[in-house]
Amino acid sequence: MQYLKNMNGNEFNEYILDKEKRFAETLAEHTFEVIEPAAVRAKKQLQGYLPNGFLTDQHEFYNIVNENERYGYVWLKIDETKKSAFLYEIYIFDECRSKGIGTKVMEEIEEYLSLKEILYFKLHVFGTNRKAIKLYETIGFQIAGINMYKTL
């Protein structure tokens, strides 16, 4: 079953607004600098990752769909010269979680990357996202590093 469907420009615009809001919430919860508000940092970081928005080289955007029902989003960066891919986001809507969709989507992404002869598939996950960590470990991801903090 195929879950990934390429986004078009209009779908990307809808996605990036949603992503900006969710990213700001994540930054507020998981970063510990008080330089500027999380919403400002989220917008700046996303603009830095995507200087040309939807048309930024090497970045691919997908809707997760089944029978025309959308379950979430995927954002990938694929660097074929380095044989490497980075998963910026797999986001499954709350009401669609714990149904095996994330696992199936990750398998589909891996198949796609294998066809492109990508050797390394990387991602970042916050330590509090236990369900995602369990999913990634179950499908073979290994920890490459751990960031830690202490409130003073």
Tens-digit pLDDT profile for residues 49-76: 999 999 999 999 999 999 889 999 999 9
- The Cα-based distances of 28 to 15, 34, 37, 39, 146 in angstroms read 20, 10, 8, 8, 19
pTM comes to 0.91
Residues 6 or more apart from 21 whose CB is under 8 A from it? 42
Q: Which domain holds residue 96?
A: 4-139
Instruction: Report yes or no on 38 lying in a domain.
Output: yes
Phi-psi region of 68 (alpha: psi -120 to 50; beta: other; left: phi over 0): left
Instruction: Report yes or no on 125 lying in a domain.
Output: yes
State residue 1's pLDDT score: 60
Instruction: Report yes or no on 96 lying in a domain.
Output: yes
Domains in the chain: how many in total?
A: 1
Instruction: Report yes or no on 151 lying in a domain.
Output: no
User: What percent of the chain is modeled with pLDDT above 90?
Assistant: 76
Compute the average pLDDT of residues 106-114.
97
Instruction: Report yes or no on 132 lying in a domain.
Output: yes
Instruction: Report yes or no on 144 lying in a domain.
Output: no
Compute the average pLDDT of residues 85-92.
97
Instruction: Report yes or no on 120 lying in a domain.
Output: yes
User: What is the rounded distance in angstroms from the CA atom of residue 18 to the CA atom of residue 29?
Assistant: 17
Query: Among 139, 89, 140, 101, which residue's Cα sits nearest to residue 1?
Result: 101
State residue 31's pLDDT score: 79
Q: Which residues pair with 20 in a beta bridge?
A: none
Instruction: Report yes or no on 12 lying in a domain.
Output: yes
Query: Which band of pLDDT confidence, cut at 50, 70 and 90, is reported for residue 151?
Result: confident
* 3-state SS, residue 3: coil
Q: Which two tokens stand for residue 137?
A: 């470990």
State residue 136's pLDDT score: 94
pLDDT in tens, 23-56: 999 988 887 777 789 999 999 999 999 999 999 9
The CATH number for 44's domain is: 3.40.630.30
User: What is the rounded distance in angstroms from the CA atom of residue 133 to the CA atom of residue 113?
Assistant: 21
Across 100-112, b (16+ Cβ under 10 Å) vs e yields ebbebbbebbeeb
